[in-house]
Amino acid sequence: MNDRKRIIVDCLQYCNYSESIFRDLIAGGVTAIHVTIAYHEDFAEMVQNITQWNTWFVQFPDLIFHGRDAGDVRRAQAEGRTAVFFGFQNSSPIEDDIGLIEICHTLGVRFMQLSYNNQSLLAAGCYESDDAGITRMGREVIGEMNRLGMVVDMSHSGDRSTIEAIEISERPIAITHANPRSWHSVARNKPDHVLKALGQSGGMLGFSLYPYHLKGSSDCTLEGFCEMVARTAELIGVDAIGIGSDLCQDQPASVVEWMRRGKWTKETPTVSQGFPPQPSWFRSNRDFGNIADGLREVGFSEEEVDQILGLNWLRFFEVSFDPRRASHEPATRHLPPSDNEGRITTDAGRSVRW
């Protein structure tokens, strides 16, 4: 690694957070993380999870703070802290109530998956045998998320639902943590036609480091991973890719059981193996330098490494988190400038569909 202060954004992780992990973030130079606030929680349970983060923000103000907009990424970089962005991996916290989306956005939630493995009120999950696409309520919810500035995340959704979300959403969407199915064929990875549609719409893919999403699982090599990144860049463009490590450091085996079973089944799981071991080259938030080295090895330029490790997500945050301006409202303080066609030119000079 060189000494230059790089912006590093990990757009999905769910560690068992502690002072030790917060210190890893600082030591690893991680500027911003998107953390999961809810998998199966209802609204009240989700609020309790936010109060836990609020307690950490008071306890460790020199390490972390609550990130709410793209400016907070630059603030974190300037102050040597890590900005923590909130997201849901499921729509359970909004229950059946579209009004709760704005409540959640006000509480700082910036990402929501429309479904998690199973059918939700909004979309199919990636493990359903049949995917009927975005539901009636799902269309309403996407519109409301677009209005408020909450990113539609389709990481655990079905392929048809994902394609439809890309088409319906007026803002670019994200697949925060998944890899190409053409590299490693599991339901949680995404087929090329979905990834292409994502890239063409201004959306973002975050590459997962979760072993079950990797070719060779825990034995996946850094070189193999980075070659996959290079092929994906050729497929959907180097602007459309970043990291969403899915790092679940220090979580007990009970957590992965709960992720899978939630409250929807009483089936006794087969003997749980807990979380699989991470690849040797990515075990904690201190290891992003290894990925940077690997990306350079497979031929990415220094600028492209910067893009993949953080600047692409930063550009995406810039167009994703601000509430939309209503036509009758006076100009707000938050929106980036847009041209006459409603396109927004980001700091990176790229025009993104709004």
| Of the residues 273, 326, 341, 342, which one makes contact with a copy of itself according to CB under 8 A | 326
CA 338, distance to chain mean position in Å, is 25
Answer positive or negative: Cα dihedral of 12, 44, 145, 136: positive
How distant, in Å, are the alpha carbons of 1, 111, 151, 173, 247 from that of 290?
Answer: 8, 27, 29, 28, 15
| Of the residues 19, 45, 79, 302, which one makes contact with a copy of itself according to CB under 8 A | 79
| Of the residues 26, 103, 255, 335, which one makes contact with a copy of itself according to CB under 8 A | 103
Query: Would you give the binding string for a copy of itself spanning residues 104-123, x where CB under 8 A is met?
Result: --xxx---------------
298 belongs to the binding site for a copy of itself (CB under 8 A):
no
76 neighbors 83 (Cβ within 8 angstroms): yes
Interatomic CA distance for residues 18 and 39, integer angstroms = 20
Alpha helices in the chain, H assignment, sequence order: 19-27, 43-59, 70-79, 99-106, 136-148, 159-168, 192-200, 222-236, 253-261, 288-297, 302-306, 312-320
How distant, in Å, are the alpha carbons of 173, 192, 237 from that of 60?
Answer: 32, 42, 38
Nearest approach, Cβ of residue 248 and a copy of itself (Å): 24
Query: Which structure tokens are listed for 170?
Result: 């007026």
Nearest approach, Cβ of residue 268 and a copy of itself (Å): 33
Report the residue number, 79 or 347, with the smaller CB distance to a copy of itself: 79
| Of the residues 19, 45, 97, 219, which one makes contact with a copy of itself according to CB under 8 A | 97
Nearest approach, Cβ of residue 60 and a copy of itself (Å): 10
227 belongs to the binding site for a copy of itself (CB under 8 A):
no
Report the residue number, 16 or 52, with the smaller CB distance to a copy of itself: 52
Nearest approach, Cβ of residue 344 and a copy of itself (Å): 21
Report the residue number, 102 or 140, with the smaller CB distance to a copy of itself: 102
Q: Which of residues 10-69 bind a copy of itself (CB under 8 A)?
A: 43-44, 47-48, 50-51, 54-55, 58, 61-62
Report the residue number, 51 or 270, with the smaller CB distance to a copy of itself: 51
Residue found by looking up tokens 């400038």 in the block: 337
Report the residue number, 330 or 349, with the smaller CB distance to a copy of itself: 330
User: Where are the strands (E) in 28-147, listed by range?
Assistant: 32-38, 64-66, 82-88, 109-113
Report the residue number, 58 or 271, with the smaller CB distance to a copy of itself: 58
96 belongs to the binding site for a copy of itself (CB under 8 A):
no
User: Where are the strands (E) in 154-278, listed by range?
Assistant: 174-175, 204-207, 241-243
Answer positive or negative: Cα dihedral of 295, 300, 302, 305: negative
DSSP bridge partners of 65: 83
243 neighbors 10 (Cβ within 8 angstroms): yes
Report the residue number, 171 or 215, with the smaller CB distance to a copy of itself: 171
Nearest approach, Cβ of residue 198 and a copy of itself (Å): 30
Radius of gyration of the chain (CA): 19
Query: Which structure tokens are listed for 72?
Result: 């907070």
Nearest approach, Cβ of residue 246 and a copy of itself (Å): 27
349 belongs to the binding site for a copy of itself (CB under 8 A):
no
Terminus-to-terminus CA distance in the chain, angstroms?
36
Interatomic CA distance for residues 124 and 116, integer angstroms = 8
| Of the residues 96, 99, 130, 342, which one makes contact with a copy of itself according to CB under 8 A | 99
Interatomic CA distance for residues 49 and 25, integer angstroms = 20
170 belongs to the binding site for a copy of itself (CB under 8 A):
no
258 belongs to the binding site for a copy of itself (CB under 8 A):
no
What does the binding site for a copy of itself look like in residue numbers (CB under 8 A)?
A: 43-44, 47-48, 50-51, 54-55, 58, 61-62, 79, 97, 99-100, 102-103, 106-108, 326, 328-330
